[in-house]
Structure 1
């Protein structure tokens, strides 16, 4: 029987006072302690090993982050290449019409600033409105669709001309 418990030394590991039992056993019966707890050599071997090396794990996570960022940039570029600016002429009353510009937000162009520059360039009213789908578009008063294409290409070099 161990000093502070009523169990035999073989069953101390299953009780609530394992550390006290080990200490008492090591002090009073060292040969029995070595027989029951031969972990000193095993603990030394296990201390130097791990499932994954920490440097390798951090490098893997950094590589994954870099790969995700590169993929995100690639997707954005692909989206910009596939994006189109749609300019349509919409008839209002008998001889009145407006020009609608959709798709500028895909090229990271501020729509409010673009509407203001359209208004000052063509001396007409221009505003940002939501279309039927719920996306923003710029509505310019008057039929300025031909001049608008040239102005967009001159003002924002990010936009590439397509036929």
Structure 2
């Protein structure tokens, strides 16, 4: 007869709550390291070596700092200053991320002049064009609707069909700072 397999015991990190073998992919691996060294040393043997070498480095740094402060005299100032580098889990250095320059936003202004509630209009626009739409304050502190994406030429027909009070002659595009009729 074959033996019944026993369930696997998975240690969960006391810091981040993830299984211990996934801590390195978690939100803050640096905070998890001391817990992992104490409770799951078999999963990360490199951490134990790293912590031992860091302790040795820390002692040598302390010795160097004592010798530097002794040699600088009574002022105690040192010419060596290092700027701290922000590191992400996995040792990656944080870089500034820029968004894609091809993204566009279509802005709709003046619908409230025709009795249209902007919150309802933004919901309908978001559903129709399957995109994000929200009511925001514009540069002149008036409410406007920002729709993600370039939907300028499809929107004229949608506005005139959805809200018949808005005449097509009242819809304009602003292109290169010039007011162009949509008709």
* TM-score normalised by structure 1 residue count: 0.43
**Higher-helix-fraction structure:** 1
Q: TM-score, normalised by structure 2?
A: 0.38
